[in-house]
Amino acid sequence: MTTPTEESAALRVHRAAARVVLAILSGLYLWAVAWMTLRARPYGSDIAAALDRLLAWFAQRESTAWITFDRVEFAANVAMFVPLGIFAVLWFGVRGWWTAPVLGLVASGAIELAQALFLDARVADVRDLVSNTLGAVLGMLLMLLLAFLLSPSRPRR
């Protein structure tokens, strides 16, 4: 049988280990975003050719002609920033939900500024600010929903 002091110490160790894992995962995520957004070209010619073929195939069909490069890029930018919203809630808690959209906007703004100033081959675009921030908000909303669903129900008075 363990004492309350031993349980408290075990909980502190568990939380510290979780923070280390969260820090490593956050660092890997940020490195991946930087790698994708701060290179001269976001992907190689082989992927560009495959994407062009896929978009041409979609364009030939009436039911999928709406799938354009701009829409795929917007969706990819949203998806790339969903983890940022998740990490924001994990780092700052449910009460710190507001940090997710702020971090999404600030990180996206920093990326767009770096692209405009230092990467001639890349184009800074306000739509990226919108899509990236939207992705962070969606990640935040997913985490808030998960927190709500997993929270113990309180008895009504």
pTM as predicted: 0.88
Average pLDDT, the chain: 93
Listed by start position, the domains of the chain span 4-150
Kindly report, residue by residue over 29-51, the tens digit of the pLDDT.
999 999 999 998 888 889 999 99
pLDDT greater than 90 at residue 157:
no
Kindly report, residue by residue over 70-100, the tens digit of the pLDDT.
999 999 999 999 999 999 999 999 999 999 9
Structure tokens at 116: 């405009």
* Three-state DSSP state, 100: helix
Q: How far is CA 133 from CA 1, 9, 100, 109, 114, in A?
A: 49, 39, 8, 10, 17
The span from the first CA to the last CA of the chain, in angstroms, equals 36
Q: Rounded distance, CA 142 to CA 80, Å?
A: 15
